[in-house]
Amino acid sequence: MRQARTPYAVAARELLRETLFDAARDLIQERPWAEVTMAEVAAAAGVSRQTLYKEFGSRDEFAQLFVVREGTRFLEAVEQAVRSHFGDSRAALAAALGVFLDAAAEDQLVIALLRDDGTGGMLPLVTTQSQPVVAFASARLVDVICEGWPQAERADAEVLAECLVRLALSYAMLPKDPPEQTIPTVMALIEPFVERALGAG
């Protein structure tokens, strides 16, 4: 049986988006997003400014989807950490939080965002204007939780996922202690709910 092929138009659009996002990532590591123009992003990607705007519509839309794209890289690692500990709910969530915080602490884009003063930059998209990112990440995490713990009520999984995402973003954007000290603090807070909703490992 032949494997379904990705239509050319879809593949071309995905390549265009990834190329533009990669160009933006490189530029943001050099200076704040507020100082980066869409024309510079387009030029770095090798396309016209008109092509960029035809694909994304506005600077704000581009920024929001860029943050979601970058967040997906973190989510994939988090999901893998959870799946590796399906037999132990506490270990799964501690591992997921650890993977996220370690990656955020080392990621050059996150470091660049933390240098942003929030004026016209991307930092608000993961802080005060983070609802689209929180909703996207929470939905992904809910699916993984329900996959590993089918006995859990979906409503409980939704509460747990959103709390974890919000806590993880908060600690990543405003780090106080290293991850190895942060994780026990967060787990002590959520363990009673985890034990009730998912069952102790």
Q: Percent of the chain scored above 70 by pLDDT?
A: 94
Domain co-membership, 122 together with 82: yes
Question: How confident is the model at residue 118, as a pLDDT?
Answer: 60
Burial per residue of 27-44, b for 16 or more beta-carbon CB atoms within 10 angstroms, e otherwise: bbeeebbeebebeebbeb
Lowest mean pLDDT among 10-14, 89-93, 129-133, 188-192: 129-133
Nearest partner of 145 among 74, 73, 199, judged by Cα = 199
For the chain, the maximum distance between any two Cα atoms, rounded to a whole number of angstroms, is 54
* Residue 84: exposure state from Cβ atoms within 10 A (0-12, 13-18, ≥19): middle
Percent of the chain with pLDDT over 90: 57
| Interval 157-170: pLDDT, tens | 999 999 999 999 88
- What are the pLDDT digits (tens) for 4-26? 778 888 899 999 999 999 999 99
Q: Compute the distance between CA of residue 192 and CA of residue 169 in angstroms, rounded to an integer.
A: 21
Q: Is the pLDDT of residue 59 over 90?
A: yes
One domain for residues 35 and 88: no
Nearest-10 Cα torsion for 107, 148, 171, 193 = 180
CATH code, domain carrying 91:
1.10.357
Looking at 28, 57, 86, the residue that finishes a domain is 57
* Tally of CB atoms within 10 A around 125: 21
Same domain, 122 and 28: no
Q: Check whether residue 39 and residue 66 sit in a common domain.
A: no
Res 93: pLDDT: 92
Looking at the fold, whether 44 and 115 belong to one and the same domain comes out as no
Q: Give the list of residues 6+ apart from residue 143 with CB closer than 8 angstroms, or none.
A: none
Give the pLDDT confidence of 60-108 residue by residue, as tens digits.
Answer: 899 989 988 888 888 899 999 999 999 999 999 999 999 999 988 888 8
Given 35, 57, 79, the domain boundary residue is 57
Query: Is 28 in the same domain as 78?
Result: no
Distance CA 199, CA 120 (A): 44
Q: How many domains does the chain have?
A: 2
Same domain, 7 and 78: no
Q: Give the C-alpha separation, 176 to 72, whole Å.
A: 24
Tell me if residue 122 falls in helix, strand or coil: coil
How far apart are alpha carbons 44 and 6 in whole angstroms?
26
What DSSP designation does 201 have?
A: -
Domain shared by 63 and 135, yes or no: yes
For residues 11 and 93, membership in a common domain is answered with no
Does residue 124 share a domain with residue 34?
no
Q: 1 pLDDT exceeds 70? A: no
| Residue with tokens 């713990």, as numbered in its chain | 149
Domain housing 45: 1-57
